[in-house]
Structure 1
Amino acid sequence: MNQLSVAIAGMTLVLAACKTAGSVPARDIPTAMNQAATALLQERLLHSTSIAVVYRGEEFILHRGELETGKSNPPDDATLYEIGSVSKTFAGLLLANAVLEGKATLDDPIQKYLPSAYPNLQSNGEPVRLRHLLTHTSGLPGMLPLQVNEVLKDFTEHATPAKLNAAYAGYGQQQFWQDLHAVSIQGPLGKDYAYSSAGTELVAHTLERIYGAPYESLLAEFLSREAGMRDTWLRLSAQDISRLAPGYHSDNPVITTPMPLLPWGAAGNLKATMPEMLKYLRLQLSAHPAVAESHKSLVRFEEDFRIGYFWNIGQNSQLGTHYVHHGGVPRAQSYAFIVPKYQLGVFIITNQSGDATAKAMEGALAHIFDVVESMQRR
């Protein structure tokens, strides 16, 4: 499934209702979550999932299945998951905060923040700007180094995780800057959608230049201060590695390796527990000024598809205006949905990653959305 398509679109059960237990949501939402998990785990290659829901101030977590088939090891609230490209929305949120603080503007040329001259980062005399990075309209390649883009064309091949590990072994910011000189921008800026994790990495660097601190520490400070999130990580300590969920790539029955570290990590390296993702959903449903800024539509591709600060903005009769992002690494896939119409936030993840995983999660989520919609009509 390509990125534009994704954007546009006998096991252990642990369920926790974190607030009022006797209300209608506490009766209906857990049932819908259980239905969603059941539907997802009927898929041949999927055997574990966790779901977090915030609905009208109430919070729920569900864990189902086994992280490893036959091991009776269900995920729990301490399990750390690789949330993949949902990480991008965190970088967008920090840049939205910087814009509100007057430290950057969306029309700033990215060259303003780079360590040396990059005359190649322009098209027909117009420079690549911050807004182009946020909306995947910069013309930058999907990944750096460039050979990774070829590797990902055969994503389901069993050798793909090992090839990714080899490409990123020793690949740091210095190599990224060297490779960036070889990039050629094609086409008009701000118009054509071309998903770029390389662009997200540049946003992380921009934040470092703005605040004079590493992106990792900027993120940790912001999340702790604004959302009480203290168990979300770009890199894991030795003591936390054991909490990282094992996962499976494509139809390979052998556990695969984690996503290798990117130069900054903003494009897809975050790991978080489900209680942490509940806090993130709650923040995204709040009136926080940086959240409101990050939800602004910056470019429209279709009547029902726009992009804000990395958030894909959808519009349909069931959910109204909603914000969604898919995350995928070689051994996990996830979705985050923010639905202001219903004061609803949903995060779902499974520790398997293949071509059909995203569609399976979308089908599972329909159970939750249908129940919430029906509750509004009562």
Structure 2
Amino acid sequence: MTKLTLFIISILTLVSCKNGTHTKNNETNQQKDSLTLEIKDASKNGVFNGFAVSIVNDKGTLYQRGFGFADIENQKKYTDSTIQNIGSISKTFVGLALLKAQELGKLKLDDPINKYLPFKVVNPNFPSTDITLRHLATHTSSITDNDFYLTKNYFLKENQDLKGLNLVFEETQVFNPKDSVVSMEIFLKNLLVEKGKWNTKETYTKNKPGDIYEYSNIGTTLAAFVLEKATGETFDKFTTEYILRPLKMNASGWHFEDINFANYSKLYENPKTVLPFYGMVSYPDGNFITSMNDLSLYLSELIKGYNGNGTILSKESFKEYFKPQLGANNFIDRNDKNPFSESYNVGIFIGFGYTGYIGHTGGDPGVGSMMFFDPKNNIGRILIINTSFSDKIGNDTFYGIWDKLEKYQTKLTN
């Protein structure tokens, strides 16, 4: 074969490969465009003012986009860089932080929490039974959320115009003035300690610690507080150092002062009613503030970690994080209907749906969120909205958007 012939074959091969890549890219872009159109159609009823979606795998983000408005009045678009709090998906960060602290030799999951606490936490129905960090992380601590959790937890951001805004959400959640807020330590002490000013008979269940799953926001915050006492670092700083910075989640944080507030979305009680900006004393259980861009990086890392390739924890720690910790005997009312509920089984503050999906949901005033991945194909989905809903049309729209992501996710990986 002559040199000229070899040269011609090489050129034809390069052109063919280039055309093949070009064709594949065109097909992918067409699929993304089709997905965008279908999501717009699914959400055209306007029940959500703004939201963002994402599809990721262990290699990165396959699709992400914002829809609608972060600020209806000023017609400010909701994009994949818009930030807002995401509700209880925040709890998944607590699990990672506990395991990082364990790696650092600062604590062990099976340690009694009273080993670290400056006040004593005991279920009065079982005074001789220790509550451990693992109990908190698996929602089996027997600690529950009483009414004071909702009425004392939420506080208003300073320097905002409150004219015309409701300061009570759905008659249960009260937005308190910033100057009335107590520290996380006092908040927990008031709720959990015998004769604490907010301690009631509903604070602890009649189940022995470690026995029965009972979802607990306050138990999550207590776990974060134990971490603070064990490590000597505040929870927000610890997670920033060991999770956010390594993953380059640069737009994210736990408090308003941690983020660029210019990118923050307004939150809505319904499409026409704006809510005040608020924070939470128990911020580790639900007040993580992030963008879809950052949260996509996070979910991709979780998928990597599930497969033994994570970067922020060791293989052993990720294995523990994703290990189903409970059995059927730990549940009284097990959720075996919704595959996207974290209440069928749990790892270390990470949930499992009954069909095997791994992730978490979230909800707070003006916030709805869902983040799950399928361990069978290593593809994950995220949906965050800035408008509360509690009716059938809202539920149908939310899951309609979610289903569109599933419809296209494998098309974007082929």
Asked if these proteins are the same fold (TM beyond 0.5), I'd say: yes
Shift of 1:143: 5.5
Larger CA deviation: 183-192 vs 215-224: 183-192
Could you tell me which runs of 5 or more consecutive residues in structure 2 were left unpaired when the two chains were aligned: 1-22, 155-165, 194-198, 337-343
What is the one-letter code of the residue matched to 2:347? G
Distance 1:30-1:86 versus aligned 2 partners, 3 A rule: farther
Which has the higher mean CA deviation after the structures are superposed, 87-96 or 43-52? 43-52
Do the aligned partners of residues 313 and 352 (structure 1) sit closer, same or farther apart at CA in structure 2, a change above 3 Å counting?
same
Give the Cα separation in 1 of the matches to 2:91 and 2:258: 25
Task: Tell me which of 241, 250, 266 is aligned to 2:261.
Answer: 241
Aligned length: 346
Q: 1:204 aligns with which of 213, 217, 224?
A: 224
Question: Does 2:300 align with 1:282?
Answer: yes
Of 140, 145, 148 in structure 2, the residue corresponding to residue 142 of structure 1 is 145
- CA separation of 1:298 and 1:148: change in aligned 2, threshold 3 A: farther
Closer/same/farther in 2, CA of residues 309 and 29 from structure 1, 3 Å limit: farther
Residue type at the aligned position of 2:292? M
**Residues 52, 78 of structure 2: 8 Å contact kept:** yes
CA contact (8 A) 1:66 1:75 kept: yes
Q: Which amino acid aligns with 1:292?
A: K
**1:232-260 deviation per Cα after TM superposition (whole angstroms, max 9, x unaligned):** 111122982232100111x3722101343
Matches within 5 A, 1:157-168: 159-160=168-169, 163-166=173-176
Paired residue for 1:362? 399
Given candidates 189, 193, 207, the residue that maps to 1:177 is: 189
Aligned to 2:160: none
SS of the residue 2:90 aligns to? helix
* 1:253 counterpart residue number: 272
Q: Which among 208, 212, 226 is matched to residue 188 of structure 1?
A: 208
Q: Say yes or no: does 1:353 pair with 2:355.
A: no
**Structure 2 residue 113 is matched with structure 1 residue 110:** yes
Partner of 1:227: 247
> Which position in structure 1 is the counterpart of 2:346?
307
What corresponds to 1:72 in structure 2?
75
Deviations 1:66-91 (A, max 9, x none): 23446432112431111111111011
The equivalent residue for 1:16 is none
CA contact (8 A) 1:142 1:149 kept: no
Please list the CA deviations of residues 17-73 of structure 1 after superposition, one character each: whole Å capped at 9, or x if unmatched: xxx97186555356335524532x234521321112213524121111123446432
Give the TM-score of the pair, scaled to structure 1: 0.80
Residues 220 and 78 of structure 1, relative CA distance in 2, 3 Å threshold: same
CA RMSD, 1 decimal: 3.2
Give yes or no for contact 1:63–1:76 (8 Å, CA) kept in 2: yes
Q: Aligned partner of 1:330: which letter?
A: P
Deviation per residue, 1:160-219 (Å, 9 max, x gap): 279521288413222321321134342133333322110111111121122111111001
Structure 1 residue 225 displacement after superposition = 4.3
The corresponding residue for 2:162 is none
1:94 Cα deviation (Å)?
0.9
The residue identity in structure 2 corresponding to 1:242 is A
Match of 2:373 in 1: 338
- Check conservation: 2:151, 2:175, Cα contact below 8 A: no
CA deviation profile, 1:110-166 (whole Å, cap 9, x unmatched): 211211233446736322221221122222122573463999xxxxx9832795212
SS in structure 2 of the partner of residue 327 of structure 1: strand
Distance 2:321 2:127 in 1: 28
Given the superposition, is the C-alpha separation of residues 349 and 266 from structure 1 closer, same or farther in structure 2, using an over 3 Å criterion? same
Cα distance in structure 1, aligned partners of 2:41 and 2:81: 22
Q: Decide whether the 8 Å contact of 2:110 with 2:134 is kept in 1.
A: yes
1:292 lines up with 2:304 in the alignment: no
Which residue is 1:154 aligned to?
A: none
Q: Is the 1:144–1:179 contact (alpha carbons within 8 Å) kept by the matching residues of 2? A: no
Q: TM-score, normalised on structure 2?
A: 0.74
Aligned-residue offset at 1:226? 3.1
In 1, Cα distance between the equivalents of 2:271 and 2:187?
Answer: 31
Separation in 2 of the partners of 1:247 and 1:204? 26
Contact 2:123 2:142 (C-alpha < 8 Å) held by counterparts: no
For the structure 1 residues 344 and 237, does the alpha-carbon distance in structure 2 shift closer, same or farther, using more than 3 Å as the test?
Answer: same
In structure 1, C-alpha distance between the alignment counterparts of 2:181 and 2:73, rounded to whole Å: 36
Identical-residue share of aligned pairs (%): 23
Which residue is equivalent to 2:11?
Answer: none
Are the structure 2 counterparts of residues 312 and 34 from structure 1 closer, same or farther at C-alpha, using a change threshold of 3 Å? farther
Alignment check: 8 A CA contact 1:333 1:352 kept: yes
Higher alpha-carbon deviation: 63-72 or 361-370? 63-72
* 3-state SS of 2:82 partner: coil
Tell me the distance in 1 between the aligned counterparts of 2:150 and 2:354. 36
Of 98, 101, 119, the residue aligned with 1:98 is 101
Change in CA separation of 1:282 and 1:361 when aligned onto 2, cut-off 3 Å: same
3-state SS of paired residue (1:354): coil
Change (3 A) 1:331 1:105: same
* Aligned equivalent of 2:128, options 120, 125, 128: 125
In structure 2, relative to structure 1, the CA distance for the partners of 1:342 and 1:34 (3 Å cut) is farther
Is the 2:152–2:174 Cα contact (8 Å) retained in structure 1? Answer: no
Tell me how far apart the structure 2 counterparts of residues 208 and 104 of structure 1 sit (CA, whole Å).
11
Structure 1 residues 204, 121: closer, same or farther in 2, change over 3 A?
farther
Alpha carbons 2:153, 2:281 under 8 Å: kept: no
- Letter of the 1:170 partner, please give it: V
Q: What is the distance in 1 between the residues matched to 2:73 and 2:121?
A: 53
Tell me the SS of whatever aligns to 1:63.
Answer: strand
